[in-house]
Structure 1
Amino acid sequence: MNSPCNIAAALPGMAARQPEAIAIRCPTGVGPDGQVRYGIELSWRALEERSSAIAAALARAGIVRGTRAALMVRPSPELFLLMFAMFKAGVVPVLIDPGINRRALKQCLDEAAPTAFIGIPLAHAARVVLGWARRSCRINLTVGRRWFWGGHTLDGLMAQSAGEDFTLADTAPDEIAAILFTSGSTGVPKGVVYRHRHFVAQVEMLGQMLGIEPGGVDLPTFPPFALFDPALGITSVIPAMDPTRPAQADPRKLIDAIRRFGVTQMFGSPALLDTLSRYGEAHDVRLATLRRVMSAGAPVPPAVVARMAAMLPEDANIWTPYGATECLPVALIEGRELRATRAATEAGAGTCVGRPVAPNDVRIIRIVDEPIAQWRDELLAAPGDVGEIVVAGPTATDEYFNRPEATAQAKIRETLADGSSRILHRMGDLGWIDEGGRLWFCGRKSQRVEAADGPLYTEQVEPVFNTHAAVRRSALVGVGEKGAQMPVLCVELEPGTAEAARERIEAELLNLGQRHPHTARVQRLLFHPRFPVDIRHNAKIGREALARWASARMR
């Protein structure tokens, strides 16, 4: 009999092979000596048995296969136990970034219409006061102490269901596994429908493309990545940090965890790696056990890759998977190749994100803003031209939940030779493919500048100016009506740059731009104290907000 299509299906085997080995370590606070205490450890046996017990407890409350359940629990043993319990039972978790604004969060929950709400006391208090999912939610489960609201507590349900048997649900590949909301960094957050086959394919593709083998130790600074670890047979060490503010993570705590537990791989956003590598460079830090570093969420600046590489063993790898919530992974590049493409990036080619991950089919289509219902070959851009990136593959999701217009905007149906069909996902990103088959990222389609003399793309302009030693980062925005926009470069300087130096830096930047025909079109610079960035990775620049700011400054 075939096992269910479910990433939790790997847990019984891991528990049988190495029952007492540690699957997850979690921090419990900081001791008097300032050192983080990792006082909670879950063995593979405990992860398997306790997640099954929680699945049985959820069923007692009516949270069963097919139930949509909002989950708002901080990174902790309870979060991971609940996630695997929900996968095992076929419950559909609804996951939303906790850092988004209250209005957007309420809108996400109203759209997802969860029947159940599982959360810590603070989340439940906010649910009651702010009216989250008021029309749909009828089952409330508190992880911790219940206050003035009704419903169940996890501890109470666990006591009632003690000893009850649980059988892993025979989930099918096309069955909905979860609804994951995008960060909303370039628009309104949307609920991406993940089917069980999407998660299983992600695990398989990540394992194969990165050569991940059981027995390693991972430091996942973005909590959802910890969900892949048990399926890959590796231990998770949950870092002591606020996952909604990765740029503010304390590098000393990350370094301590890596050294104390012999961490072999880690995931970090570009902003987190920037913080960590700056500290490492300043303090000559070496991380002898770390063999694999992954970063995603935004292009990783070459300088960050170079600083990070200096902290690692010579044979270690820094991988940058390219993708999105709707489709991950799409392509992959290693740090050495990324550094080799640095000169081209800093001359305006865009950022190389590597070659498509098998078996993905990556194409470039001409730039259009309208929906495309059916694939036709004349959509393709000319070889070497910049266009929109579209992807077909096993992790390409096929719809947004309760968002038919957004689904129509982002999905193209293709009829294959055998009469079957598949979905191509429009990434909303611009790029081109070189003669070697490598994909180059040129920026978000919605953030392109449509000037009277032609378009400009953020990732072909900003890296040129980012070579200036005083520039921390820059952002190209358009001011005015589409088709007649003025290209404006917003600049965030390195901390400590003297105010008096700005006039000189502006002149130097404009002179720098004259080296290339496309950047020479940027004739206006504005200095900004601190760029707005996305909630999830603190790395994607909020160019829409900067465009509004620049427009106001230039009135």
Structure 2
Amino acid sequence: MQLFPDILARRAADEPDRVAYIFLDDNGAEHTTTTYRELHEQAMAVARLLRSRCAPEDRALLVFPQCVEFIAAYFGCLYANIVAVPVNPPRRGRVQDATRAIVADCAPTAVLTTGGLLETLRPVLEPLCTARQWLAVDELSTADTAFTPAAADPDSVAFLQYTSGSTSTPKGVMVTHRNLVANEEMIRRSFGHDRHSTVVGWAPFFHDQGLIGNVLQPVYVGATCIQMSPAAFIRRPLRWLEAISNYRAHTSGGPNFAFDTCVARAAAGELPDLDLSSWQVAFNGAEPIRAQTLDRFTKTFAPLGFSAQSVFPCYGLAEATLLVSASGKGRGPRLLDADIDALADRRYVAAPVDRGRTLVGSGAVLPGEALLIVDPETGERCPPDRAGEIWVAGDHVAQGYRGLPEATAETFQARCADDPERTYLRTGDLGLVVDGELYVVGRLKDMIIIRGRNYYPHDIEHTVAGAHPALRPGSGAAFAVPGRDGDKLVVVQEIKRDADAGTGDIEGAIRAAVLQEHELAVADVVLAAPDTVQKTSSGKIMRAAARKRYLQ
């Protein structure tokens, strides 16, 4: 098995001048280009210094903006047998709660960053950790090549990938070298990648999609990746499509909200001159995938060469390194209309088109893994017409959570009553398989249960967002709280900055829409200012955080 340190070293030796990464500025202009040889040399410089100052398997915190120095630091950790811990860099001198929790949990020996960040970063992070080494990666010399990378054990921890914290405190997933290679091979096969498959990415590097998909997959297949910052995408989302067009990208994607954002921006002004005909894999994952989103995006950008067959829904999670299921290159999406009432009872009954809830398939189970739909209460496999918890097994499933043996046993070592010899990862997601296609229907922990009936919060949130033009799409949380006669429904929803409607009208529209669509009364509506409903780095609504804040 060739591990990632071997893969990068081989690329640097075989094709030293091949471009590995191109970084774009906020205007879409190139500001950094790095070859495989340059990346290897920078990583070796990092590894030399780490080996001299840290012990094997020490943790190193990686605190970077979207830049090539992060990638050099990450591979330097792999070369030196140091466990990398990517984190979200502080913004405006403020450390995010999730980052605080990660720093406290992983106890890093070293902090790697850039010279420009070091002076401002150290006073902010130093009170939170006991790191002895603070290293500016961009200031290291690459002149000295007298270094031999440490041979890696395939089952040793390559890095800690912290969960998003959408339902609980972030936990450090122990991803091994074997996990990485296994999942990258799954991505290569399902996405149809080779060395000519240019990738365009903007997802943050501390997120599994940004790191495993956009940074490591191109190295794995020997391709070139074009990177832009998440902030550049948020400010000017159509720059993303311009990069795909200009560099003739084969693969690019993001969470569902990214496609909605592009449609909204296109509707607000004139479209740039784009040719999206090269875009063969437009992957969509990391949150509930909306059929309406796929349809609107395809119709908006079809005149510019985008093909409906390029739409590529997929599903994954940090505990499985990244990818679990994928649609297949050139296949297009699969849709399923399910009866809402039956789905609330975790049953699948076909509904007439537009008369039920349209589920978007997340693709097929991939070679090299086993996937079961299991009753979360009994641990038995569900019959074909039942939704249950998605359980996964394979070489891509991580070792467990660092320092949490009980949570590891509960999540990573589940045994199905029908297959007691094998251990499975409990994903915490509810889904069903129909005609070989996986459909994800919700999060087990987020399920709202009122008067014995199940409700999926993202369905309610979708209804709320469309109830009034003053509301911001994708910026609301629905959850249950204790009431006098049992749990009751609360909705927290952001309003637009330029909203000119009265709060009474907006609240009334929300209550009426939820009652009509779900036959459910909303006990309390909280209208929030823009950007106050917390989200993860991939755009998932942090419902647990919204509920906690409401109760406080």
Cα distance in 1 between the residues matched to 2:545 and 2:29: 40
TM-score normalised by structure 1 residue count:
0.81
Q: Which amino acid aligns with 1:423?
A: T
Is 1:510 aligned to residue 512 of structure 2?
A: yes
Does the 8 Å CA contact 1:442/1:460 hold for their aligned counterparts?
Answer: no
Unaligned runs of 5+ in 1: 145-153, 369-376
Give secondary structure in 1 for the equivalent of 2:357. Answer: coil
Cα distance in 1 between the residues matched to 2:485 and 2:365: 33
* Residue among 365, 374, 378 paired with 2:374: 365
Q: Deviations over 1:339-386 (max 9, x none)?
A: 633687872365532322223222223334xxxxxxxx8533444333
More deviation in 332-341 or 260-269? 332-341
Residues 5-44 of structure 1 mapped to structure 2, 5 A cutoff: 5-27=2-24, 29=25, 35-44=27-36
Give secondary structure in 2 for the equivalent of 1:447. Answer: coil
Is 1:535 aligned to residue 528 of structure 2?
A: no
Residue 126 of structure 1: how far off its partner (Å): 3.7
Cα distance in 2 between the residues matched to 1:75 and 1:433: 37
1:77 aligned partner: 68
2:323 aligned partner: 329
2:270 aligned partner: 283
2:156 aligned partner: 175
Cα distance in 1 between the residues matched to 2:371 and 2:396: 13
Residue 36 of structure 1: how far off its partner (Å): 3.8
Give secondary structure in 1 for the equivalent of 2:519. Answer: helix
Residue 283 of structure 1: how far off its partner (Å): 2.9
- Going from structure 1 to structure 2, the CA distance change for 1:163 and 1:391 (only over 3 Å counts) comes to same
Cα distance in 2 between the residues matched to 1:268 and 1:383: 30
Cα distance in 2 between the residues matched to 1:54 and 1:551: 47
Does the 8 Å CA contact 1:90/1:169 hold for their aligned counterparts?
Answer: yes
RMSD over equivalenced CA pairs, Å:
3.5
* Pairs aligned (count): 512
- Going from structure 1 to structure 2, the CA distance change for 1:351 and 1:526 (only over 3 Å counts) comes to farther
Residue 325 of structure 1: how far off its partner (Å): 0.9
TM-score normalised by structure 2 residue count:
0.81
1:374 aligned partner: none
* Residue among 280, 283, 304 paired with 2:293: 304
- Going from structure 1 to structure 2, the CA distance change for 1:353 and 1:255 (only over 3 Å counts) comes to closer
Residue 509 of structure 1: how far off its partner (Å): 6.6
Residue 329 of structure 1: how far off its partner (Å): 1.2
Cα distance in 1 between the residues matched to 2:290 and 2:494: 15
Cα distance in 1 between the residues matched to 2:389 and 2:416: 20
Give secondary structure in 2 for the equivalent of 1:541. Answer: coil
- Going from structure 1 to structure 2, the CA distance change for 1:110 and 1:526 (only over 3 Å counts) comes to closer
Q: Deviations over 1:192-212 (max 9, x none)?
A: 101001110111000001111
* Residue among 58, 77, 85 paired with 1:67: 58
Residue 82 of structure 1: how far off its partner (Å): 1.7
1:426 aligned partner: 426
Q: Which amino acid aligns with 1:388?
A: E
- Going from structure 1 to structure 2, the CA distance change for 1:496 and 1:362 (only over 3 Å counts) comes to farther
2:345 aligned partner: none
* Residue among 42, 57, 81 paired with 1:90: 81
Cα distance in 1 between the residues matched to 2:419 and 2:336: 40
Cα distance in 2 between the residues matched to 1:402 and 1:66: 14
Unaligned runs of 5+ in 2: 206-210, 341-353
Cα distance in 2 between the residues matched to 1:502 and 1:218: 47
Cα distance in 2 between the residues matched to 1:133 and 1:6: 33
User: Which contiguous aligned blocks of 4+ residues in structure 1 show a shift greater than 6 angstroms?
Assistant: 342-346, 415-419
2:180 aligned partner: 199
Q: Which amino acid aligns with 2:362?
A: V
Cα distance in 2 between the residues matched to 1:46 and 1:10: 14
1:186 aligned partner: 167
1:341 aligned partner: 336
- Going from structure 1 to structure 2, the CA distance change for 1:68 and 1:303 (only over 3 Å counts) comes to same
- Going from structure 1 to structure 2, the CA distance change for 1:297 and 1:505 (only over 3 Å counts) comes to same
Does the 8 Å CA contact 2:277/2:306 hold for their aligned counterparts?
Answer: yes
Does the 8 Å CA contact 2:380/2:417 hold for their aligned counterparts?
Answer: no
Q: Which amino acid aligns with 2:60?
A: A
More deviation in 489-498 or 221-230? 489-498
Does the 8 Å CA contact 1:348/1:459 hold for their aligned counterparts?
Answer: no
Cα distance in 1 between the residues matched to 2:513 and 2:480: 20
Q: Deviations over 1:168-212 (max 9, x none)?
A: 432122111001111212210111101001110111000001111
- Going from structure 1 to structure 2, the CA distance change for 1:351 and 1:490 (only over 3 Å counts) comes to farther
Residues 246-285 of structure 1 mapped to structure 2, 5 A cutoff: 248-281=234-267, 282-285=269-272
1:106 aligned partner: 100
Residues 195-234 of structure 1 mapped to structure 2, 5 A cutoff: 195-222=176-203, 223=205, 224=211, 225-234=214-223
Residue 166 of structure 1: how far off its partner (Å): 2.9
Q: Which amino acid aligns with 1:322?
A: Y
Give secondary structure in 2 for the equivalent of 1:363. Answer: strand
Residue 101 of structure 1: how far off its partner (Å): 4.6
Residue 467 of structure 1: how far off its partner (Å): 6.2
Cα distance in 1 between the residues matched to 2:271 and 2:224: 27
- Going from structure 1 to structure 2, the CA distance change for 1:49 and 1:542 (only over 3 Å counts) comes to closer
Cα distance in 1 between the residues matched to 2:499 and 2:405: 48
Q: Deviations over 1:447-486 (max 9, x none)?
A: 1112223332224544556666846245431121699211
- Going from structure 1 to structure 2, the CA distance change for 1:547 and 1:69 (only over 3 Å counts) comes to closer
Cα distance in 2 between the residues matched to 1:198 and 1:185: 23
Residue 324 of structure 1: how far off its partner (Å): 1.0
1:544 aligned partner: 544
Cα distance in 2 between the residues matched to 1:322 and 1:271: 15
2:346 aligned partner: none
Q: Deviations over 1:302-328 (max 9, x none)?
A: 232223324243375122221111112
Q: Deviations over 1:148-170 (max 9, x none)?
A: xxxxxx42xx36xx333333432
Residue 128 of structure 1: how far off its partner (Å): 4.0
1:148 aligned partner: none
Cα distance in 2 between the residues matched to 1:178 and 1:295: 25
* Residue among 24, 40, 44 paired with 1:48: 40
